[in-house]
């Protein structure tokens, strides 16, 4: 008996599960058929004029709807945009609407807002519901306080009017126009709608024309040609105009009054005095002793002297004919400059070649040359039918120590410096077939980028050169005797290795004369 009752209960449970499964399957089948019918059915009333383009919400269409059921309109939009649209129960109403060349998304929003409806997209499916249902689900209205207003223009061009209205609308607003009928649909917050209606009422008059304003902006610091593109981007499309007078460094802007204000704000931010950097350079030449013929060993020197403020952060090969050279870059507190020079004297004879100072704009290159300009003659031969013409010209090449420094000032007081030092010398001359002599230059150069605080020195070391020195000795009188004089003369040749060490100290300045004077006093220790 117990076994029979147990079997009977089992059968009842199976029947209940079968019924539930059948019910769920029916619901799913209904939903799928609803989605498929929206995506695939294509009711084409005579009042609908599609413009087949790319599929999706961005596709543009034209609509001429006269009392069409909203569900039929949604089916049409789903078919033309290849969309999946599901409507909830209770969605009804008729649509009368005239739109030309608008996106499906814009058309959908207009239709739904007119009928107090809303939609949301989940996994590629658009669910259409009432505004109340949307607010219950999300706790806010579908339009986020947006309202819809349809206006008919009488005189102004819809294209021109939309250009200015799009500058006024909020980030959630939309401006939709119909070029043929002159209708304009505005979707935005009540405050923005009121502003746009006021603009339309003011300018949609006979003899319509924009109240354009022309204003000249004479720049003091910025270059007009350099910011021309930036200003052009914010002008009203198809309305605003810009002219550049590079001779007077002036921008001439013609646009709506509110755009003129925007341009003025932009130029106020751009036309500011550039930051400047005063670069103090000290170029020191060290004649290396035999113990340091491969260059200054900074690690060894620093460990002996127990320097705490001098650190070398980079070491890399120099661009030179000498394969063993290494360029080192370090930083040094300005107070330790004298101690560093004394330290270098233990390496060899130390001589300060030059200590130039130069001011440079942030982002602009400064050039320093300590040396000579070697001249040489070049010839150009021109061959005519009956004559040959030879023209000579003098060319120059810089020889010595050259520095190319580009400072960039950061808001936090740090300075990035792009540095390219170069040490060159004439090792010999080449005589051409025309008898001209051309100098052969030996060059060591490197390029690096460092970031330091205002007032912290950068040290560049490792610029090594061989310096040939020929010494001639002769005994007075006897050395000048023909033939026998050679016995009383001698000649010796020595090759000295020299290393050039460059100290660069940047100071942020305002560029005014008083500021430069303060920096000079500070450098000399005068209060």
Note the pLDDT of residue 143.
63
- 115 and 247 fall within a common domain: no
pLDDT, residue 107, reads 85
Mapped onto helix, strand or coil, the DSSP state of residue 20 is helix
pLDDT of residue 327: 63
Q: Are residues 166 and 81 in the same domain?
A: yes
pLDDT tier for residue 414 given thresholds of 50, 70 and 90: very high
Cα(435)–Cα(154) distance, rounded to whole angstroms? 87
Distance CA 363, CA 207 (A): 51
Q: Residue 248: is its pLDDT beyond 90?
A: yes
Same-domain pairing of 174 and 249: no
pLDDT at 465 (0 to 100): 74
What does the pLDDT average to over 93-118?
Answer: 84
Query: Of 11-15, 259-263, 358-362, 415-419, which range is least confident?
Result: 11-15
For residue 491, CA distances in Å to 467, 471, 480, 486 come to 17, 6, 14, 10
Average pLDDT, the chain: 76
CATH of the domain at 237: 3.30.1370.120
**pLDDT at 498 > cutoff 70:** yes
Residue 453, phi then psi, degrees to nearest 5: -80, 160
User: What confidence category does residue 263 fall into, taking pLDDT thresholds of 50, 70 and 90?
Assistant: very high
For the cut 60, the answer to whether the pLDDT of residue 27 exceeds it is no
Whole-number pLDDT of residue 312: 52
Contacts of 1 (CB under 8 A, 6+ apart): none
pLDDT digit string (tens) for 454-494? 888 888 887 777 766 667 777 787 667 787 777 777 777 67
User: What tens digit of pLDDT does each residue of 70-85 get?
Assistant: 889 888 888 888 888 8
User: What's the pLDDT at 335?
Assistant: 59
Instruction: Give mean pLDDT, residues 233-248.
Output: 87
Do residues 156 and 242 both lie within one domain? no
Residue-range definition of the domain harbouring residue 251: 213-270
290 has pLDDT over 80? no
Percent with pLDDT over 90 in the chain: 10
Q: Distance between CA atoms of 156 and 162, rounded to whole angstroms?
A: 10
Share of the chain above pLDDT 70, in %: 77
For residue 418, pLDDT over 90 is answered with yes
Considering the domain boundaries, does residue 18 fall inside one?
no
Higher pLDDT, 523 or 126: 126
Q: How many structural domains is the chain composed of? A: 3
Average pLDDT of 369-382? Answer: 81
Mean per-residue pLDDT, 38-67: 60
Residues 318, 283, single domain; the answer is: yes
**Whether residue 265 sits in one domain with residue 285:** no
Q: What is the pTM of this model?
A: 0.51
pLDDT, residue 507, reads 92
Give me the mean pLDDT over the 108-127 stretch: 85
Question: CATH number for the domain including 149?
Answer: 3.55.50.30
Same domain, 228 and 360: no
Separation in Å, CA 409 to CA 360, 366, 418 = 11, 14, 12
Cα–Cα distance, 319 to 224 (Å, whole number): 40
Cα 153 to chain center, whole Å? 42
DSSP state of 319: B
Instruction: State the pLDDT confidence band at 305, using cuts at 50, 70 and 90.
Output: low
* CA dist., res. 131 & res. 88, Å (int): 12
415 and 293 in a single domain? The answer is yes
Please report the DSSP string for 166-194 in residue order.
HHHS-TT-EEEE-TTT-EEEEEE-HHHHH
387: three-class secondary structure by DSSP: coil
């Amino acid at each position: 008996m117990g076994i029979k009752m147990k079997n009977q209960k089992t059968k009842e449970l199976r029947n209940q599960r079968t019924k539930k499964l059948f019910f769920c399957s029916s619901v799913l089948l209904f939903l799928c058929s609803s989605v498929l019918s929206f995506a695939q059915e294509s009711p084409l009333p005579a009042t609908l004029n599609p413009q087949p383009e790319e599929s999706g919400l961005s596709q543009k269409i034209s609509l001429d709807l006269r009392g069409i059921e909203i569900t039929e309109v949604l089916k049409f939009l789903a078919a033309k945009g290849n969309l999946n649209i599901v409507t909830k129960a209770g969605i009804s109403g008729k649509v009368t609407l005239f739109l030309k060349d608008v996106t499906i998304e814009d058309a959908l929003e207009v239709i739904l807002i007119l009928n107090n409806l809303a939609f949301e997209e989940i996994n590629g499916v658009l669910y259409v519901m009432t505004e109340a249902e949307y607010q219950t689900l999300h706790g806010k209205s579908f339009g986020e306080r947006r309202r819809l207003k349809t206006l008919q223009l009488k005189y102004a061009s819809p294209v021109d009017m939309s250009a200015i209205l799009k500058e006024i609308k909020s980030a959630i607003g939309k401006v939709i126009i119909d070029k043929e009928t002159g209708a304009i649909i505005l979707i935005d917050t009540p405050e923005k709608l009121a502003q746009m209606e006021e603009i339309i009422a003011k300018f949609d008059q006979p003899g319509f024309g924009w109240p354009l304003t022309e204003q000249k902006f004479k720049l003091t610091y910025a270059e007009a040609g350099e910011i021309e593109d930036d200003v052009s981007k914010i002008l009203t499309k198809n309305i605003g105009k810009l002219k550049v007078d590079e001779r007077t460094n002036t921008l001439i802007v013609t646009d709506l009054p509110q755009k003129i204000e925007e341009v003025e704000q932009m130029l106020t931010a751009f036309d500011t005095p550039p930051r400047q950097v005063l670069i103090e350079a000290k170029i020191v030449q060290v004649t290396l002793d035999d113990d340091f013929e491969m260059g200054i060993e900074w690690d060894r020197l620093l460990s002996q002297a127990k320097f705490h403020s001098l650190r070398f952060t980079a070491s890399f090969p120099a661009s030179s004919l000498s394969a063993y050279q290494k360029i080192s870059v370090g930083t040094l507190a300005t107070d330790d400059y004298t101690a560093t020079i004394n330290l270098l004297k233990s390496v060899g004879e130390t001589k300060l070649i030059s200590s130039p100072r130069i001011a440079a704009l942030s982002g602009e290159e400064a050039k320093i040359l300590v040396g000579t300009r070697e001249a040489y003659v070049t010839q150009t031969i021109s061959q005519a039918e009956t004559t040959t013409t030879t023209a000579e010209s003098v060319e120059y090449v810089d020889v010595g120590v050259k520095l190319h420094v580009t400072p960039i000032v950061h808001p936090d007081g740090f300075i990035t410096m792009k540095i390219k030092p170069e040490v060159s010398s004439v090792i010999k001359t080449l005589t051409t077939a025309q008898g001209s002599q051309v100098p052969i230059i030996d060059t060591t150069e490197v390029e690096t980028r460092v970031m330091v605080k205002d007032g912290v020195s950068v040290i560049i070391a490792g610029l090594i050169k061989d310096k040939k020195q020929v010494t001639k000795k002769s005994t007075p009188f006897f050395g000048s005797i023909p033939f026998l004089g050679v016995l009383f003369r001698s000649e010796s040749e020595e090759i000295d290795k020299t290393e050039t060490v460059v100290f660069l100290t940047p100071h942020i300045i305002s560029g005014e004369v008083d500021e430069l004077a303060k920096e000079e006093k500070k450098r000399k220790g005068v209060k």
